[in-house]
Structure 1
Amino acid sequence: MLSRRQFLTLVPFLASLPQWSPVLSPGGPASRSYGRQVLNRPQDATSVIAATFENAIVLKNGDLFLITDANGTMPIKEKHGFGLYYQDCRVLNGFEMRLSGHSPLLIAASAPSGTMARLTFTNPETQGPDGRLIPSETLAIQLHRLIDDDPPSIHELLRFQNLGKRPVEFSVSLSFLPSFEDVLAVRGFPQHLGNLLAPMWDGGLLHVLYEGKDSLFRGLTIIFDPVPNSTDGTNASFDMELAPRATRELRVSQFVNFSPHRQKAATTVSKPDDFSRMASGLTRTSETWMASITRVESDSFALDKVLTRALHDLRLLQTRIDDLTFYAAGTPWFVTLFGRDSVIAALQTLAFDPSVAEQTLRLLAKYQGRRYDAWRDEEPGRILHELRTGELARLGLVPYSPYYGTVDATPLFLILLGRHAAWTGSLSLFEELRGAVERAVEWIEMSQDRHGHGYLAYESRSPLPLGNQGWKDSGNAIVNADGSLVAPPIALSEVQGYVYQAKRQIAGLYDRVGETVRAGQLRRKADELRARFNRDFWLADKGFYALALQVDGTSSSVISSNPGQALWGGIVSADKAGQTVERLMARDMFSGWGVRTLSDRERSYDPLGYHVGTVWPHDNSLIAAGCRRYGFDQAASRILSGLFDAAMHFNSNRLPELFAGISRENYEGPVSYPAANPPQAWAAGAIPYLLETMLGLVPQGLDHRLRIVQPLLPPFLNELEVHKLRIGGAEADLRFIRASEDTVRVEIMKVEGRLDILVEERR
């Protein structure tokens, strides 16, 4: 896998790209967007990000998470996005360890579960305080780090061993840089609000307190055991003397405490728990969760590794608000509730753990729009886009408390509710959320009528809006063939597919509760939308669908990935599906690793452009499901194989949020996107969802039935088992065995509960 520097060296035509920034800078169509837009930044704001997350180590537990570079540090004199974060606040933005003034040398690092990390270092050649030279590789240094959520804390056990044949003396310095910055300020939004108070030492305890302008005190307490030999500001130093083969340990614990009361935020924390006991507890918790979800085993060790990584990442991203669990969109920028992202990740994982979908739906219904508020783009019935809890949001300086500027979260909310019922076989959640469902449908239909063409479109009313309100939400994402921006109101092709599927899904639930008239109305409107869509969005000269329709009704005729998600929605007519799939899989769209967001023939194409040429795993997972929906199995298999191969090249076998659209023919591995979030929920959900899709699992839990429709195995698999698959209150164990190149045999190993399994094998 190539780094950005290697890539720029090998591809000269990209060497002139401006410095990438994860925040959209002003400037109109010519501006590049290298990250999800937060706000239209003030002209004098500058990007603070100067490092990538490609090899970052991420630990998370609840609301607390730590993201460091590959050495487990956060460089103090550099601008970056690494840090210790809690509730939309970067508590700590710097941590470094020095051995007699030198950085230790990393040998190995591992963080398999996402709650613990192990790093091994040695020393460079250095001179001790006694003046004697310590040869390189004399010391073995183990750093075992874990993260806890009760209370929110980071615990580190450092073990130093002298591997040499003579005694050594050296110093260990630990430097911390507390910042207490709002996460939006880290990304470039100005923040000159509260007061960072002077650090206070009390023996082996360091207290740092930030007095927020929002009347919240944010505190960090660091406990050292043993007590430092000397301190300076937020630096601690320890004198070490080690006999040959001798070992010495150093324990550091960091406690985060936010409170409206100053004394409580600065309260001295009791002595940390036994480190081994905490580590064992985290291991048991992780193992218990993995045992509670659907388990997949295959004859491919590589697939098992990729899937396990994805599932651990999904567990890592589970976060709670109001005692309800959801998938946070991704670290470090989006550890919060995102309507679209959280819903899609829950959709992707219904076959593994439907409980997160249920809680996500309840949470989104709780925050559903109730009034008209232009500042936050709120409207009655609309599902939120983003909920922030940091200082800027609490003070009302940004509209994210919550912000509703998303066009697709509302139909996706309805789709998830329908899919959840199909998997669980229960209508109780539909009954519980009936009011939210009706308000969501009313908002969709009101919005469809607003612009006179019958499509769900967007145009922000907020003075600080997102540039675009579909999943491609950067300011330069939705373009015309000449490179100009599509003019709002904008009706995206995939959003119409969402609306079509949402109405069909909810109609089915209304039928189940005896409201057949309402069900019929929704189906009729869905069918009318489908007919209009296939008339107005189809580009006959290109044999493909338009990316979007704009204010004057003209179409954006670029070739993009969006119609692939329209396939997933089911709105594409059968006679046009073949051309659509063929176009998606052509060389200018399919890179060999996945489908690009934009054809490499388009004027706006940029292989490192956030939404105009890169490859997104979640996008591809939905496109593959759309291909399967219309019977184009080979295309779906190519997408799965491409993403799987890509995952094998990335650090820890983790699919990133996105990667460059460079063709597979050019390099041995996929080219990284510098600012991709590691991990990202819907990227982690891509492989689990692709497996569900390829196995042909069609749940009909309300009828106590599972259909397995023309199951497929990707080329690198011959056998796969699924255990504890839950449908409608029952559980099933299944085995899939390759019988021939394009035929898979299904064995029903075990069924517990009432469940009919119908296997529809390829003939």
Structure 2
Amino acid sequence: MPMVATAPDDETLPQYHIEAQTSLVERQLRSLKHGDAFAVLDSYGDIGVFPGPEGLYFQDTRFLSRLELTVEGQRPMLLGSVVQDDNGALSVDLTTPDIRLDAGDETSIPREIIALERTKFLFRGTCYDRIGLRNYDTKPRHLRVTLSFDADFRDLFEVRGSDRAHRGKRSVEVTGANEVTFTYDGLDERRRTTRLRFGPRPARLEANRAEFEVRLAPGGRASIFVRAICDTVDLGREGMAAVGSALPFTHAAYPSPRREDGHPKGEGMTFALAYRDARRDLRKATANITTIESSNDQFNEAACRSTADLYMLLSRTPNGVYPYAGIPWYSTVFGRDGIITAMMTLWIDPEIAKGVLRHLAATQATTVDPAADAQPGKVLHETRNGEMAILGEVPFRLYYGTIDATPLFVMLAGQYYEQTGDEATIRAIWPNILAALKWIDEYGDRDKDGFVEYARETEKGLANQGWKDSHDSIFHADGRMAQGPIALCEVQGYVYAGKKSAAKLAALMGDDGLSERLKGEAERLRQAFDEKFYLPELGTYALALDGEKRPCAVRSSNAGHALFTGIAYPERAESVAAALMSKDGFNGWGVRTIASGEARYNPMSYHNGSIWPHDNALIALGLARYGLKAEAARVFEGQHGASLYQEGRRLPELFCGFIQRKQRGPTNYPVACSPQAWAAAAPFAFLAACLGLELRHDRNRIRFREPILPTFLDDVLIRNLKLGDSRVDLLIHRHGSDVTVNVVRRTGDAQVVLLK
């Protein structure tokens, strides 16, 4: 079967490049998400005032590209803008500037006498917007409030910078006294519509503009409501069939409530009911999770922000919840991201892992499809519902071009069962685990050298298929690009851990022969990995082996994943840790993806010198696994320090790898996703690493193995930690370098063990 083993020309534009003419950092953008819809807004709550990624998106298409609020033709002055602590809504405080109604006149409306309070949220495929006005003047005021709007229906990949030669047909129509409808009939035979509904009825309504005449008595109040309702139907099947969604209810607008006489109650009541139900949804999602409270208020803020981000990014699928990867570019199912997020949050909420396992099992490849880089048993990399994906202009409708998701899937299954003992779920996905193991041996290791390697099968596919999938991320010490098929360092670790996990699950399934075979294969892989990947001259593992089995002798964070998975022999751990934590590897905020001094090191690059929180979390777990708790705590301290400089204490997808400087925070990466699921999960992994936290259902035991706490934490209270039917609250206290664990509350008979 054909494989494309060449890397792209180093001078060409990177594949699936995210065009960046302005920085997302300087724009102070705000993000909201619910289900398959997400919004990127400026600080005012507006969309598209300046060029950029702002918009209301649904199923990988921008359904609203402009929504601008003005008062008497002028933009209000911003007083404050914040996404609420639970990510439920955006709250914006505005006021009017000095307004002159006629040229040459004196100021007609002095600034700061009219307050505007804006609340925006998403629910069931609809963006709700309430603009409240209050007059603080002693005399009545009459204002002209205008909303300008547009819907370009650009595919997300177009917004990212991809060019298209042809597009479908777009139209707009005033469809009622308080409604405008934008329609796009795509080349994919899908009709996408954005309906804008206003309340009260505008004084003037045009195709791209709504004007309201607002009269405010002294101290008076008024409200304007806007709903942007996203919908998609398939014109190719039975004319107007609704398109299915990963979140079954997202394509339906929240219905307008009716009075007993059948007449609408108005947009204000619609807003209030939707807001109430959206809040209930959020509370229900987090009602039974494990929570953390500490002696450090700043860490508490970071933990709360991480929790809120995780549950905003969760979407319901027919198979359970799934954490979408990140906003704005990756708000969809990604196999690798979902698995690693589930691993890091397993002790907080195992339902995330359950949903990830079930959904990836349901979408596992069953046939050979070179255009999708798919073979039987391979686990999904990415799925998209936009026009370009449906038409095949990009290969991501159901795309399997990842080398690591399949062994990670098996690895997660083992971790999930070890903690929960949920045999029913494991039995349900056991055929998928067997198919994944078969893929690893038959398609993953095509040259039968014992290592799993990748080479794309289509020029449209990703050239590099590990988590560092930039076009220039896999290279030799002299900077030459590695030619495939490529065996990545961390992937061999995932295969090793996956086979060890599968061996235990095979025994559970009663297949002792398979169990023993998998154990033997894992140990042989471990030995071969040590022989081929460990480089004594560097004191760490090679980044990868190229197609000729030559090591890429580059110091990278990938080696930390060898510690995370346990494939590293114990005698290698200290030297690998030393390379990771050296001045070239660790910059004070975290471990760089590529160490300073390597040929392609660039602290501003996506994968060649930047710092990723999730990468550092897995490294911390690996360091702790080998008893290197002080090093794990140092990574935790660096990442916590970085969070203090981020708005809302939110760790972004990544930040630049410049050396830590006094009285300055880390340098932001210009187009990093924020929030990003595995970055949001990272603080929980850091804490678990330092505590040596292990939950074993078979032993009914919660164990803390040689726990330590970083210097910024004196006490940690863990509430509602679950093991089987048991629930415990634990108070962990640091006495200098010593740590004690006290059971504050317990239901059930789970044992709590402290091992020093």
TM-score after normalising by structure 2: 0.92
Show CA shifts across 1:517-561 (max 9, x none).
211111111111111111111111111111111011111111111
Tell me how far apart the structure 2 counterparts of residues 626 and 31 of structure 1 sit (CA, whole Å).
Answer: 36
**What SS class does the counterpart of residue 378 from structure 2 fall into?**
coil
Equivalent residues of 1:199, 1:234 under 8 A apart: no
Counterpart position of 1:100 = 72
User: Of residues 742, 753, 756 in structure 2, which corresponds to 1:758?
Assistant: 753
The answer to whether the aligner puts 1:736 opposite 2:732 as a matched pair is yes
Counterpart position of 1:605 = 601
- CA displacement at 1:171 relative to structure 2: 2.0
Tell me how far apart the structure 2 counterparts of residues 338 and 189 of structure 1 sit (CA, whole Å).
Answer: 20
- CA displacement at 1:279 relative to structure 2: 2.6
How has the CA–CA distance of structure 1 residues 449 and 226 changed in structure 2, closer, same or farther, with 3 Å as cutoff?
A: closer
The answer to whether the aligner puts 1:615 opposite 2:587 as a matched pair is no
- CA displacement at 1:31 relative to structure 2: 5.8
- CA displacement at 1:736 relative to structure 2: 0.7
- CA displacement at 1:246 relative to structure 2: 2.4
- CA displacement at 1:264 relative to structure 2: 8.7
Counterpart position of 1:14 = none
How has the CA–CA distance of structure 1 residues 554 and 48 changed in structure 2, closer, same or farther, with 3 Å as cutoff?
A: closer
Tell me how far apart the structure 1 counterparts of residues 537 and 78 of structure 2 sit (CA, whole Å).
Answer: 57
Matches within 5 A, 1:580-595: 580-595=576-591
**What SS class does the counterpart of residue 96 from structure 1 fall into?**
strand
Tell me how far apart the structure 2 counterparts of residues 263 and 113 of structure 1 sit (CA, whole Å).
Answer: 37
**What SS class does the counterpart of residue 687 from structure 2 fall into?**
helix
**What SS class does the counterpart of residue 702 from structure 1 fall into?**
coil
**What SS class does the counterpart of residue 486 from structure 1 fall into?**
coil
Equivalent residues of 2:339, 2:412 under 8 A apart: yes
Amino acid at match of 1:232: E
The answer to whether the aligner puts 1:279 opposite 2:275 as a matched pair is yes
Counterpart position of 2:151 = 178
Counterpart position of 1:717 = 713
Contiguous gaps of at least 5 residues in structure 1: 1-25
- CA displacement at 1:666 relative to structure 2: 5.8
The answer to whether the aligner puts 1:194 opposite 2:168 as a matched pair is yes
Tell me how far apart the structure 1 counterparts of residues 72 and 570 of structure 2 sit (CA, whole Å).
Answer: 70
Counterpart position of 1:83 = 55
**What SS class does the counterpart of residue 556 from structure 1 fall into?**
coil
- CA displacement at 1:300 relative to structure 2: 1.3
How has the CA–CA distance of structure 1 residues 331 and 461 changed in structure 2, closer, same or farther, with 3 Å as cutoff?
A: same
Matches within 5 A, 1:361-760: 361-447=357-443, 449-665=445-661, 668-739=664-735, 741-760=736-755
- CA displacement at 1:201 relative to structure 2: 3.9
Counterpart position of 1:21 = none
Percentage of matched positions with identical amino acids: 34
Tell me how far apart the structure 1 counterparts of residues 503 and 111 of structure 2 sit (CA, whole Å).
Answer: 70
Counterpart position of 2:208 = 234
Tell me how far apart the structure 2 counterparts of residues 371 and 157 of structure 1 sit (CA, whole Å).
Answer: 49
Amino acid at match of 1:230: R
Tell me how far apart the structure 1 counterparts of residues 142 and 153 of structure 2 sit (CA, whole Å).
Answer: 36
The answer to whether the aligner puts 1:116 opposite 2:92 as a matched pair is no
User: Of residues 3, 6, 10 in structure 2, which corresponds to 1:29?
Assistant: 10
- CA displacement at 1:713 relative to structure 2: 1.4
How has the CA–CA distance of structure 1 residues 574 and 163 changed in structure 2, closer, same or farther, with 3 Å as cutoff?
A: same
Aligned-residue Cα RMSD (Å) equals 2.2
Equivalent residues of 2:445, 2:453 under 8 A apart: no
Tell me how far apart the structure 1 counterparts of residues 592 and 605 of structure 2 sit (CA, whole Å).
Answer: 11
Counterpart position of 1:20 = none
Counterpart position of 1:11 = none
Equivalent residues of 2:555, 2:598 under 8 A apart: yes
- CA displacement at 1:86 relative to structure 2: 0.7
Amino acid at match of 1:249: S
**What SS class does the counterpart of residue 155 from structure 1 fall into?**
strand
Show CA shifts across 1:296-344 (max 9, x none).
1111111111001001100000113335320011111111111100111
Equivalent residues of 1:737, 1:745 under 8 A apart: yes
- CA displacement at 1:285 relative to structure 2: 3.0
Tell me how far apart the structure 2 counterparts of residues 584 and 699 of structure 1 sit (CA, whole Å).
Answer: 28
Tell me how far apart the structure 2 counterparts of residues 345 and 502 of structure 1 sit (CA, whole Å).
Answer: 17
Tell me how far apart the structure 2 counterparts of residues 706 and 292 of structure 1 sit (CA, whole Å).
Answer: 18
- CA displacement at 1:267 relative to structure 2: 11
Contiguous gaps of at least 5 residues in structure 2: 1-6, 243-250, 257-265
Tell me how far apart the structure 2 counterparts of residues 752 and 169 of structure 1 sit (CA, whole Å).
Answer: 62
Amino acid at match of 1:28: D
**What SS class does the counterpart of residue 157 from structure 1 fall into?**
strand
Tell me how far apart the structure 2 counterparts of residues 528 and 63 of structure 1 sit (CA, whole Å).
Answer: 44
Amino acid at match of 1:126: I
- CA displacement at 1:687 relative to structure 2: 0.4
Matches within 5 A, 1:220-299: 220-260=194-234, 270=256, 271-272=266-267, 273-299=269-295
**What SS class does the counterpart of residue 530 from structure 2 fall into?**
helix
Equivalent residues of 1:196, 1:210 under 8 A apart: yes
The answer to whether the aligner puts 1:140 opposite 2:115 as a matched pair is yes
Amino acid at match of 1:57: R
Tell me how far apart the structure 2 counterparts of residues 340 and 382 of structure 1 sit (CA, whole Å).
Answer: 12
Matches within 5 A, 1:310-325: 310-322=306-318, 324-325=320-321
- CA displacement at 1:198 relative to structure 2: 2.7
Equivalent residues of 1:313, 1:679 under 8 A apart: yes
How has the CA–CA distance of structure 1 residues 746 and 31 changed in structure 2, closer, same or farther, with 3 Å as cutoff?
A: farther
Equivalent residues of 1:175, 1:235 under 8 A apart: yes
- CA displacement at 1:136 relative to structure 2: 2.4
- CA displacement at 1:506 relative to structure 2: 1.1
Show CA shifts across 1:36-92 (max 9, x none).
x53xx7xxxx9476441562211111111111122222224x431111011111111
Amino acid at match of 2:509: V
Tell me how far apart the structure 2 counterparts of residues 374 and 448 of structure 1 sit (CA, whole Å).
Answer: 14
Tell me how far apart the structure 2 counterparts of residues 468 and 666 of structure 1 sit (CA, whole Å).
Answer: 36
Equivalent residues of 1:53, 1:678 under 8 A apart: no
How has the CA–CA distance of structure 1 residues 443 and 283 changed in structure 2, closer, same or farther, with 3 Å as cutoff?
A: same
Amino acid at match of 2:740: R
Tell me how far apart the structure 1 counterparts of residues 12 and 296 of structure 2 sit (CA, whole Å).
Answer: 44
Counterpart position of 2:245 = none
Amino acid at match of 1:159: G
Tell me how far apart the structure 2 counterparts of residues 611 and 205 of structure 1 sit (CA, whole Å).
Answer: 46
**What SS class does the counterpart of residue 90 from structure 2 fall into?**
strand
Equivalent residues of 2:234, 2:240 under 8 A apart: no
- CA displacement at 1:752 relative to structure 2: 2.2
Tell me how far apart the structure 2 counterparts of residues 733 and 267 of structure 1 sit (CA, whole Å).
Answer: 41
Equivalent residues of 2:172, 2:180 under 8 A apart: no
Tell me how far apart the structure 2 counterparts of residues 53 and 592 of structure 1 sit (CA, whole Å).
Answer: 21
User: Of residues 153, 156, 163 in structure 1, which corresponds to 2:126?
Assistant: 153
The answer to whether the aligner puts 1:350 opposite 2:359 as a matched pair is no
Tell me how far apart the structure 2 counterparts of residues 438 and 60 of structure 1 sit (CA, whole Å).
Answer: 35
How has the CA–CA distance of structure 1 residues 382 and 323 changed in structure 2, closer, same or farther, with 3 Å as cutoff?
A: closer
- CA displacement at 1:139 relative to structure 2: 1.9
How has the CA–CA distance of structure 1 residues 459 and 647 changed in structure 2, closer, same or farther, with 3 Å as cutoff?
A: same
- CA displacement at 1:584 relative to structure 2: 0.4
Amino acid at match of 1:239: E
Moved more, 610-619 or 192-201: 192-201
Tell me how far apart the structure 2 counterparts of residues 32 and 702 of structure 1 sit (CA, whole Å).
Answer: 52
- CA displacement at 1:382 relative to structure 2: 0.7
- CA displacement at 1:213 relative to structure 2: 2.1
**What SS class does the counterpart of residue 184 from structure 1 fall into?**
helix
Moved more, 401-410 or 252-261: 252-261
Equivalent residues of 2:653, 2:673 under 8 A apart: yes
- CA displacement at 1:674 relative to structure 2: 0.7
Q: How many pairs does the alignment contain?
A: 723
- CA displacement at 1:446 relative to structure 2: 1.8
